[in-house]
Structure 1
Amino acid sequence: MSDNRRIAEEIIEAVGGQENVLSAAHCATRLRIMVKDKEKIDQVKIEDIEKVKGAFFNSGQYQVILGTGTVNKVYEEVTKLGVGVSTKAEQEKEVAKSGTVFQRAIRSFGDVFVPIIPALVATGLFMGLRGLVMQEQILALFGMAPEDISENFILFTQVLTDTAFIFLPALVAWSTFRVFGGSPIIGLVLGLMLVSPSLPNAWNVAGGGADPIMFLGFIPVVGYQGSVLPAFIAGIFGAKLEQRIRKMVPDAFDLIVTPFLTLLVMITLALFVIGPIFHTVENVILDATVAILDLPFGISGLLIGSLNQIIVVTGVHHVFNMLEISLLESLGNNPYNGIITASIAAQGGAALAVGFKTKSAKLKALAMPSALSAFLGITEPAIFGVNLRYGKPFIMGLIGGGIGGFFASIFGLKATGMAITVIPGTLLYLNGQILLYLLVNVIAIATAFVLTWMFGFSDKMLKENKSDIL
């Protein structure tokens, strides 16, 4: 019997057997199991299974952290056991019915923005590469100066770096329609209407080069290039309106009437009501965020770096995707990224200290890969598998994140993109800040490592902890 087969069998047995499993799915790092009765789950037994890096119950799903690659192999064995399977999307439809109103709202928010992130990651990398090749020192290696760069090359780089933000409302509206049950293509068209070239360009209006169109003498109408919140709110209302219209219209006329009425009503509301109101709200949120990030003496970095991973544990961290997108669109950079990178790196440093200090072969085999995962930007294995299990390492990681965040703020780190951190995140700091970025990571990791080694962990905790690893 293969190891993965045995692990699959042990997991199913520990969650109450096949009769207690409704379905199984997986994401990049976790096996997601929907169970009939969560009281039948043996948490201690689950955490004692080889290759399991942690497990927790969240909004109708029991999520077993296995790590990238491993989760695919174990899931394949789970399906061979005859367990009911479903896609992650199908499970999300079920879990959407569970949890508090706040939890469901945050989950929907994440579902909207997570699919957009890869495009913004690529855009950020393009910005970083452009910043690198445009540096005088780099150009000098090829006997060139900035004025030698052709206009056609600049135009090409602008296509790479500006397109996603120009059409951001289209991406947001498309994804929002998809999540809230509308037709994604209608959402896409609605979003494109919000950035129609027939409307005054938002950036030109903001720069004083154009004036908004005034309807009824007091309603300013502009394009919403780079805007997020108006498209998000319009997407929610549009998806619900489409559903309502579709129920009322006879099937023979659905293809013509439903999209016509949905787009007519929603672009009217979006331009005259939703846009002006929520663009103002968006600016207020952005101004407040910038004000917090601009707090003197590194206070913002200390606070955000210390608290970020607590927010990750609660699962509401997807809220900040919108803020990072707004920062990139408005400022052209992302000062938030360097701070949260410190918080992520520090949790890896704490897990690394546990791995080095423990004499337990199994805990060492769990902690070391978990630390590596954190250094690649994924903290769940380190948090749920090691640091939170023993408590103090997690706290030491929070302290390390605060110290690292403090220096990120003091140094004024500004990423060219979002969503990648620690080692992969170096690509976002090819704008001349890479050495400072590396220093911040080293400070965060070293602080968490030393504090965990000295005060945060000893093998005595293995016996004291209910889910001890021996």
Structure 2
Amino acid sequence: MNMAKYTESAKELLEHIGGNENISVVTHCATRMRFVLNDNDKADKQKIEDMDVVKGTFTNAGQFQIIIGNDVATFYNEFSEIAGVGDTSKEDAKVAAKQNMSFIQRLIANLAEIFTPLIPALVVGGLILGFRNVIGELPNFGPNNDQALVELSQFWSGANDFLWLIGEAIFHFLPVGIVWSITRKMGTTQILGIVLGITLVSPQLLNAYGVAEATEIPFWDFGFATVDMIGYQAQVIPAILAGFVLAYLELGLRKIIPNVISMIFVPLFALLPAVIVAHVILGPIGWVIGDWISNVVYSGLTSAFGWLFAAVFGFAYAPLVITGLHHMTNAIDLQLMSIFEGTNLWPMIALSNIAQGSAVVAMIFLNRRDEKEQQVSIPAAVSCYLGVTEPAMFGINIKYGFPFLAAMIGSSIAAVISVGSGVMANSIGVGGLPGILSIQSAHYLMFGVAMAVAIAVPLVLTFALAKTKMGKNAYERLGK
């Protein structure tokens, strides 16, 4: 495609979107145009989807998104020139999109914005913990196949110890990243967030992992009161609470302290109270809340009714992605890891992603003569198996309906197998086929079985449902 070819398509899209007066903000990502519209009803979704350059549409997080493909940047430049809309940042788009959200949607969007910048580190950490698991805990090596690699080789022993340097930095010192991310999101001073985060994990404090076994808790003695010197390594909720206190203190102080002295007094009067409140009030409260949430989830998954919890979660996770509520699971996973040294929730997420990708694979075969559909479905299946589900779900599965249902059912069955056999992940990881690298080594076999189910069941069900009335109605609705 080239710029000249996009001219007519851009004019056509502008007309179908409701004209430039209906565009509040427009930007783009790797494959999609992202619109925040003044009135979503003015956009003719059917006519837009019928355009040759368009691979699909969906609405998510207050944004109307149009899948263009790899040439989206070129198309965007042509469109913005014709539409007379200026270049706008993704942050501006997010702010504008929130005008179309409910209170709950805004809350979830804020949570997502906190954890999204941390995901690359969390994925790397998960892979490293998985690799350490293989070389440090799998007793399948040596002459009798009963030794771990670290016992056989000084190199692997050293590598195992060295890699923990990164694992500890990512997971034990996670509060530093969380508080930094909050200050970044709120537009406040990021180095103050980093400093506050460090005070939560300082070596001066009793490590969070040593609190349960400690015979005596050290404390600061102020004469009239004492404060326990407890660290919050890997704790999520205390870090979130402390981060928002710091951010709102700084924002408030900026309004009342004159600019000439703000450089001195805003950081001082924001950071000092935030550190005090974090250790005296929010830390202990956040610890209790985090423990409660983690214990409820873990107890639910390991109880006699764990299979039912797993079935419901496996079935409902993909719809949660549509609403954005799935971002809450990041905080729960990280909290589970801090208490139980692993998470039994995350494996189900990886299985759900695999199931959605498998449904798309079935649709690739069913629509093998539809070249336009293949341009969407093949890249969507690949990205889904690598943990990014939105192109698969919005571009194919939800559009047809029946593959989405098939994937949900396959995900539910796979989740029951995973939870029923006690599968645990070391951490959050790559949420697709590579997810097995984050699974604790003792559970590789059963997670492999669950993966096979997450691949096979959606494939078979999608083929089967395509021949039913549900499938035929979907094809008729889409004019295929």
Structures share a fold, TM > 0.5? yes
Q: How does 1:82-97 map to 2 (within 5 A)?
A: 82-97=84-99
Query: Compared with structure 1, are the counterparts of its residues 49 and 336 closer, same or farther at alpha carbon in structure 2 (3 Å cutoff)?
Result: farther
In 1: Cα distance, 2:30 partner to 2:81 partner: 20
- Say whether the 8 Å CA contact 1:334–1:416 is kept in structure 2: yes
Contact 1:55–1:385 at 8 Å: present in 2 too?
A: yes
Match of 1:176 in 2: 182
Q: Deviations over 1:215-238 (max 9, x none)?
A: 666854411111111110111121
Determine the structure 1 residue equivalent to 2:233: 225
Contact kept, 8 Å, 2:124 with 2:429, in 1: the verdict is: no
Counterpart amino acid of residue 291 in structure 1: S
The farther-off stretch of 423-432 and 446-455 is 423-432
**Quick one: which amino acid aligns to residue 146 of structure 1?**
E
Question: Deviations for 1:323-362, whole angstroms, at most 9, x for unmatched residues?
Answer: 1111223323232222112222222222222332247614
Alpha-carbon distance between aligned partners in 1 of 2:232 and 2:276, rounded to the nearest angstrom: 14
Q: Are 1:275 and 2:283 matched, yes or no?
A: yes
Q: Find the counterpart in structure 2 of residue 292 from structure 1.
A: 300
TM-score (norm 2): 0.88
Question: Which residue number corresponds to residue 76 of structure 2?
Answer: 75
Deviation of residue 294 (structure 1)?
1.2
Deviation at 1:64, TM superposition (A): 1.8
Work out whether 1:401 is the aligned partner of 2:402. no
* Residue-by-residue CA offset, 1:103-122 (whole Å, 9 max, x unaligned): 11110011011111111111
Are residues 101 and 419 of structure 1, via their aligned partners in 2, closer, same or farther at CA, if it must alter by over 3 Å?
farther
What's the offset of the Cα at 1:423? 2.3
| Contact 2:55/2:375 (<8 A) preserved | no
Determine the structure 2 residue equivalent to 1:325.
334
SS at match of 2:441: coil
Q: Please report how far the alpha carbon of residue 148 of structure 1 lies from its aligned counterpart in structure 2 after TM superposition.
A: 4.5
Hey, what's the Cα distance between the residues in 2 that align with 1:330 and 1:64?
42
Q: How far apart in 1 are the matches of 2:385 and 2:297? A: 26
Structure 2 residue matching 1:318: 3-state secondary structure: helix
Alignment of 1:369-388 (within 5 A): 369-388=379-398
Aligned to 2:260: 252
2:472: which partner in 1?
Answer: 460
- State the AA in 1 paired with 2:362: A
Please say if residues 54 and 381 of structure 1, whose CA atoms lie closer than 8 Å, have aligned partners that are also in contact: no
CA-CA distance at 1:79 after TM superposition: 4.3
Which residue of the partner structure matches residue 6 of structure 2? 5
The aligned residue for residue 40 of structure 1 is: 42
2:171: which partner in 1? 165
* TM-score normalized by the length of structure 1: 0.90
The answer for the alignment partner of 1:241 in structure 2 is: 249
CA distance in 2, matches of 1:120, 1:370: 23
Q: What is the alpha-carbon distance in structure 2 between the residues aligned to residue 220 and residue 11 of structure 1?
A: 61
Q: CA offsets, 1:397-423, max 9 Å, x none?
A: 111110111112233322233141222
Q: What SS does structure 2 have at the residue aligned with 1:96?
A: helix
Q: Name the structure 1 match of 2:345.
A: 336
Stretches of structure 2 that go unaligned for 5 or more consecutive residues are: none
Quote the residue 1:146 is aligned against.
151
**Pair 1:51–1:440, CA change in 2 (3 A):** farther
- From the superposition, tell whether residues 133 and 77 of structure 1 become closer, same or farther in structure 2 (CA, over 3 Å): farther
Q: Matched residues in 2 for 1:424 and 1:449: separation?
A: 19
User: Residue in 1 aligned with 2:456?
Assistant: 446
Q: Compute the displacement of 1:46 (Å).
A: 2.0
Match of 1:137 among 136, 140, 160: 140
CA gap 1:154/1:426 in 2 versus in 1, 3 angstroms: closer
Gaps of 5+ in 1: none
Alignment of 1:13-52 (within 5 A): 13-50=15-52, 52=54
Higher relative contact order (CA 8 A, sep 6+): 1
Following superposition, the deviation at residue 22 of structure 1 comes to: 3.2
CA distance in 1, matches of 2:375, 2:29: 22
Q: Once the two structures are superposed, what CA deviation does each residue of 1:23-57 show, in whole Å capped at 9, x if it has no partner? A: 32123443211223322211002222346443233
Q: Report the CA distance between 1:164 and its aligned residue.
A: 1.4
2:61 touches 2:323 (CA, 8 Å); kept in 1?
A: no
Secondary structure at 1:206 match in 2? coil
Partner Cα separation in structure 2 for residue 109 and residue 464 of structure 1: 40
1:315 aligned onto 2:324: yes
Aligned to 1:423: 433
Q: Relative to structure 2, which stretch is displaced further, 48-57 or 118-127?
A: 48-57
Instruction: Summarize the Cα distance change of 1:148–1:419 in structure 2 as closer, same or farther, 3 Å threshold.
Output: closer
- Cα distance in 2 between the residues matched to 1:52 and 1:435: 42
Superposition RMSD in Å = 2.9
| CA-to-aligned-CA distance 1:275-300 (integer Å, 9 cap, x gap) | 11111111111111111221346333
Q: Percent identity?
A: 32
Amino acid paired to 2:271: L
Contact 2:114–2:182 (8 Å) recurs in 1: yes
